[in-house]
Amino acid sequence: MVRFSRWVFRVLVGGIALLTLVACALHVTNSEGDVALAPPEGEALRIATYNVHYIVLSEETGAWSVGDWERRKGPLDSAFKALQADVVAFQEMESFQRGSDGSVNLARDYLAERNPSYGVAATGHWREFPTTQPLFYLKDRLQIIDQGWFFFSETPDVIYSRTFNGSYPAFATWVQFEDSETGAQFRVANVHFEYSSGSNRLLSATLVRDRIKPWIDAGEAVFLVGDLNALHGARTMDILEESGVVFDRTPGATYHLNRGVHLLGAIDHLSRTSDVDLSKGPVVVQERFDGEWPSDHHPAYADYLLPSAQK
């Protein structure tokens, strides 16, 4: 019995050691190290995606509470400024509590106040426009032509309709811009797919494909970005690419457990139509800012040349 117990103990220790080695190897594989954040070159357009995690208004302390937001907000502003992006598509930019009317958005308002050179698109009165997936855009360069939303639901044009399996509402926002530097027009669609239901992700991807394909078929330049909660090459991505977009591989982890731990490949992605050239990236910014992690996701960006800017 003693010998058997020792054997079990050795097996357990060996298993733990093996798992630790695997985790370390995954962390190294999915870590990109420090990135030199230089501004985009020439007429290149920089588009970024960033899941910034929701804030729980009813909680004063603890993870993702209002108190935690006080810790995170300065580093989040530093991360936003460091991106030097023309467009940043946000996910989970939400402040909520039970019974909330949706009118409070601490992160959106904080960043907008401290970055006056940026406008906020894909937002509005909460009864008419979901406010938690806005796009910040550089006002001197870009002008809004149109914007909209649709929910991942059997009734996609009904605001706050629940997803296909009845879980919490999830949706896409989109904005059509004109670039004052080149005169080119383009759209950015911003999505956040559910993490726990594979069927919801596939149905949501099919809906997004069917919604953006008419834009692409009409010859528009389209970017589809966001938190897919899926790895590169997953069926979710394959369905989206049937619309005519292509996903350039995002190197390294974007989700890091709020601890800088990189066990998975990227789940946040950027894609473009074939008439758009990739100039640089994608790049994952796996850094602390002001000594803190602003979110449990890292931002990712890429630089593009719109059709009229290509040489």
List, for residues 135-144, the tens digit of each pLDDT value: 999 999 999 9
Total of domains in the chain: 1
In a domain, 257, yes or no: yes
CATH number at residue 42: 3.60.10.10
Return mean pLDDT, the chain: 90
In a domain, 247, yes or no: yes
Please state whether beta strands 45-51 and 87-91 pair in parallel, antiparallel, or not at all (unpaired).
parallel
In a domain, 26, yes or no: no
In a domain, 14, yes or no: no
List, for residues 148-159, the tens digit of each pLDDT value: 999 999 999 999
In a domain, 261, yes or no: yes
Contact by Cβ (8 Å): 291, 279: no
* pTM for this model (two decimals): 0.89
Distance of CA 1 to the CA centre of its chain: 54
List, for residues 20-73, the tens digit of each pLDDT value: 333 333 444 345 555 668 999 999 999 999 999 999 999 999 999 999 999 999
In a domain, 140, yes or no: yes
Given a cut of 70, whether residue 243 has pLDDT beyond it is yes
Q: 102: pLDDT confidence band, cut at 50, 70 and 90? A: confident
Min mean pLDDT across 22-36, 124-138, 269-283 is at 22-36
In a domain, 302, yes or no: yes
Mean of pLDDT values over 218-234: 98
Nearest CA-CA partner of 218 in 181, 244, 191: 244
In a domain, 61, yes or no: yes
Domain range enclosing 228: 31-309
